[in-house]
């Protein structure tokens, strides 16, 4: 599904020397590379504050901790997402309110979101799933109208760009109250371990986030709020600082590979009797963290099995919508009909996509899809 080794080999000397620098300096925690990377990421994103932390899940948790929320407040989250987006809501004794997604983009349905708002609603967590931005303009309008915080889960879409109706553009993660991302190795900007970051344009909030991630202290040993210990270590920051320079090129490589798949799959199955290829929304670029097909007529599991038998890896992101996760049954409630989330969980199949994918490998995948298709139809 990924080729982290091939990607490493292309930048090996740069990475190796930056790791060696960290070891030579022995500044393993909060070393200079953390500050450098933070500054470079801020520049890349257009100048927002960046606070690094230990992983993407911590970023989401710290974001919620930084806002004035109290037990029982409702936080809206899409029902079709990775568990982390909703887990932190429950962890902080807030109430996850699950809403349905759009079948075309997999992202939060604006209509379902609007209908799920109650007097207890305090925040929305839109997730830019698979590498494409949610439709942020109407979402931000709704949030403004109801005084809600917006925490963007940007773990899968760093580098993607949203275009507003007046033509101005913004990077995903920089449009809401707070943006969160993950540097998990397989993410589009991944390190060689765990890492995460928060983004905000609000000066005071940035200070508060920094304080919470550092034991609730601004002055050493003076703790003004309950925080946590969540740091990006220097070695990971040094690796990320090298990889950030390649992020746009990585996104472009993923995009090229996605176009190749889509073109070929549309030739195999022009009327989408079996395969529905990813749809690119007009308002967002797509950085293809995943290349996710929808497989029609309950053939998904058979296709997955067929591909596995023929040496082609594929993954189901995600097999269960939130409403079917046992952990959430006692704490969450449905803010809308969650049919589409269920339909997505039942039909999605993600194909291998990464920066090192080449046409020869893609052709092997396409060949098997083609065989399966002719057997089925
Ligand atoms: C990966 C991911 C996270 C969590 O990131 P970690 O660094 O693994 O904690 C959160 N949300 C989404 C959508 C993700 O894909």
Which H or E run includes 223?
A: strand 222-223
The confidence score (pLDDT) of residue 377 equals 77
The confidence score (pLDDT) of residue 376 equals 85
Between the CA of 302 and the centroid of ligand 1 the distance, in Å, is 28
In this prediction, residues 223-242 reach a mean pLDDT of: 97
Distances (CA, A) of 220 to 27, 50, 185, 214: 18, 21, 32, 9
Model pLDDT for residues 250-275, shown as the tens digit of each residue: 999 999 999 999 999 999 999 999 99
Model pLDDT for residues 64-121, shown as the tens digit of each residue: 999 989 999 999 999 999 999 999 999 999 999 999 999 999 999 999 999 999 999 9
Q: Ligand 1 atom closest to Cα of 55? A: 7
In this prediction, residues 211-219 reach a mean pLDDT of: 96
Between the CA of 61 and the centroid of ligand 1 the distance, in Å, is 11
Pocket of ligand 1 (CB under 6 A): 55-57, 81-82, 84-85, 127, 153, 155-156, 182, 184, 194, 196
Note the pTM of the prediction, 2 decimals.
0.97
Which H or E run includes 251?
A: helix 247-268
How far is Cα of residue 181 from the mean position of the Cα atoms in its chain? 7
Distances (CA, A) of 106 to 51, 137, 253, 259: 28, 17, 22, 18
The confidence score (pLDDT) of residue 96 equals 98
Between the CA of 157 and the centroid of ligand 1 the distance, in Å, is 11
333-334 vs 348-351, strand pairing mode: unpaired
Which H or E run includes 198?
A: strand 196-200
Residue 183: φ, ψ to 5°: -110, 25
Which percentage of the chain shows pLDDT scores above 70?
100
In this prediction, residues 184-199 reach a mean pLDDT of: 98
Model pLDDT for residues 285-328, shown as the tens digit of each residue: 999 999 999 999 789 999 999 999 999 999 999 999 999 999 99
In this prediction, residues 123-149 reach a mean pLDDT of: 98
The confidence score (pLDDT) of residue 68 equals 87
Q: What is the rounded end-to-end Cα distance, in angstroms, of the chain?
A: 27
In this prediction, residues 44-64 reach a mean pLDDT of: 98
The confidence score (pLDDT) of residue 157 equals 98
* Long-range CB contacts (within 8 A, 24+) of 205-210: 205/49, 205/66, 205/177, 205/178, 206/49, 206/51, 208/66, 209/49, 209/51, 209/62, 209/63, 209/66, 209/178, 210/51
Which percentage of the chain shows pLDDT scores above 90?
98
Distances (CA, A) of 342 to 64, 80, 106, 339, 348: 27, 8, 11, 5, 10
Between the CA of 100 and the centroid of ligand 1 the distance, in Å, is 20
């Amino acid at each position: 599904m990924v080729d982290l080794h091939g990607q490493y080999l292309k930048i090996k000397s740069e990475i190796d020397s930056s790791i060696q620098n960290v070891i030579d300096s022995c500044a393993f925690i909060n070393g200079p590379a953390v500050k450098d990377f933070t500054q470079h990421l801020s520049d890349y994103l257009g100048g927002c504050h960046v606070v690094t932390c230990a992983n993407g899940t911590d970023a989401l948790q710290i974001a919620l901790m930084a806002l004035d929320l109290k037990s029982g407040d409702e936080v809206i989250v899409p029902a079709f997402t990775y568990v982390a987006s909703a887990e932190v809501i429950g962890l902080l004794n807030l109430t996850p309110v699950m809403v349905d997604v759009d079948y075309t983009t997999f992202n939060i349905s604006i209509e379902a979101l609007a209908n799920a708002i109650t007097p207890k609603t305090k925040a929305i967590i839109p997730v830019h799933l698979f590498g494409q931005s949610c439709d942020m303009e109407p979402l931000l309008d709704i949030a403004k109208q109801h005084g809600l915080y917006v925490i963007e889960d940007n773990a899968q879409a760093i580098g993607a760009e949203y275009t507003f109706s007046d033509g101005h553009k913004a990077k995903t993660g920089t449009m809401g109250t707070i943006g969160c991302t993950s540097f998990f190795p397989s993410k589009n900007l991944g390190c060689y371990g765990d890492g995460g970051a928060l983004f905000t344009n609000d000066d005071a909030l940035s200070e508060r986030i920094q304080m919470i991630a550092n034991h609730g202290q601004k002055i050493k040993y003076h703790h003004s709020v309950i925080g946590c210990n969540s740091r990006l270590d220097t070695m990971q920051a040094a690796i990320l600082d090298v990889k950030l320079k390649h992020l746009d090129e990585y996104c472009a490589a993923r995009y090229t590979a996605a176009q190749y798949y889509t073109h070929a799959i549309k030739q195999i199955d022009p009327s989408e009797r079996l395969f529905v290829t990813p749809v690119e929304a007009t308002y967002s670029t797509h950085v293809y963290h995943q290349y996710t097909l929808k497989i029609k007529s309950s053939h998904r599991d058979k296709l997955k099995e067929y591909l596995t038998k023929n040496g082609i890896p594929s993954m189901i992101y995600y097999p269960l919508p939130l409403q079917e996760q046992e952990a959430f049954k006692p704490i969450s409630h449905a803010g809308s009909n969650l049919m589409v989330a269920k339909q997505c969980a039942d039909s999605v199949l993600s194909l291998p996509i990464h920066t090192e994918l080449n046409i020869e490998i893609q052709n092997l995948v396409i060949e098997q899809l083609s065989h399966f298709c002719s057997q089925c139809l």
